[in-house]
A = this chain, B = another copy of it.
């Protein structure tokens, strides 16, 4: 079967690789229907975060179950399924607390930009859709695997409540999905920080009520202006840089919350400032599994359409082009068809 392999920064290739098989009795093997390139893959592609050379890459997937191990009870061959980028048993103490991405037996999914994927802990990881989805629904279902689940977690971690004023820092796929999540959770006002016209438009379509183009201190000042000088109730940090963390912290009202889902790169938290801010903070890799059943229902009903973040679709053969397009910011997010 064919799968993407990371050779070095800037060098991802589609290659013939051994087909994955059931190794443990809890495994499932899927034939992918769609996969994609993540903003976090770019950290490797750009050589900022190390990645093992000559390793399979990709962690977002939807597909049809081909085969399951002897201990798999709920997932069956032929089902269309979605899973998170962390496999989880969904039964340990951390899973029961809703933090499946901290599962005591978690396994990071890798090698999902491929035709076939082995999913460990299949019963705890995969959720089947109510039936075979229409082709046009596939992009939306694929986002639930990571970016939409991550945007959703940002909103939950920032404790977005009905009627709230919410700021979203970051207009990548996760930030746009975070706008959608905040609107779904009942936010009255969703302020998207964005200076790219196409992304602004998508943010508005997803429920942003205001767009702020200023950044840094000026961005904070604009948010304060819009919130009677006190700041927003919830701020969703979807970038991970030092500047974006500070902007998020400083845009939040005392007693408000920051949910931070951008993987931190060089971010440094001024502890004294955090202390005096009275801002609550929670972040981390999204426990996507917690939100999957609810998100699938919303997608199936047509209440959410996060698949619109894909602005380029390529055949899996062109995985190298997909990375380039995202690296050069020519695309928000690229969907790959095996």
Contacts and interface: CB of A to CB of B under 8 A. Distances in A.
Nearest to A280: B282
Given A93-B228, A271-B245, A284-B277, A255 B104 contact: no
A211 interface: no
Number of copies: 2
Contact of A283 (B93, B228, B253, B275): B275
Nearest to A102: B254
Nearest to A153: B278
- Of A93, A268, A278, A283, most buried by chain B (CB within 10 Å of CB) is A278
A253 B284 contact: no
A247 to B, nearest CB: 14
A102 B255 CA distance: 9
A276 B285 contact: yes
Contact of A93 (B93, B245, B253, B269): B253
A271 B267 contact: yes
Contact of A269 (B255, B271, B279): B271
Nearest to A233: B97
The A contact surface, by secondary structure, is mixed
A152 interface: no
A260 B104 CA distance: 27
Interface string A108-138: 0000000000000000000000000000000
A10 interface: no
Interface string A249-287: 000011100001001100111011011111111111101
A79 to B, nearest CB: 29
A118 to B, nearest CB: 24
A274 to B, nearest CB: 7
B94 A230 contact: yes
B269 A264 contact: no
Contact of A99 (B93, B98, B278): B278
Contacts of A157: 280
Contacts of A150: none
Nearest to A266: B271
A278 B271 contact: no
A194 interface: no
A275 B271 contact: no
B275 A94 contact: no
A101 interface: yes
A277 B97 CA distance: 13
A7 to B, nearest CB: 26
A106 to B, nearest CB: 10
Contacts of A94: 230, 253-255
A279 B272 CA distance: 18
- Of A98, A245, A260, A272, most buried by chain B (CB within 10 Å of CB) is A272
Nearest to A242: B271
B271 A271 contact: no
Contacts of A260: 275
A223 to B, nearest CB: 14
A229 interface: yes
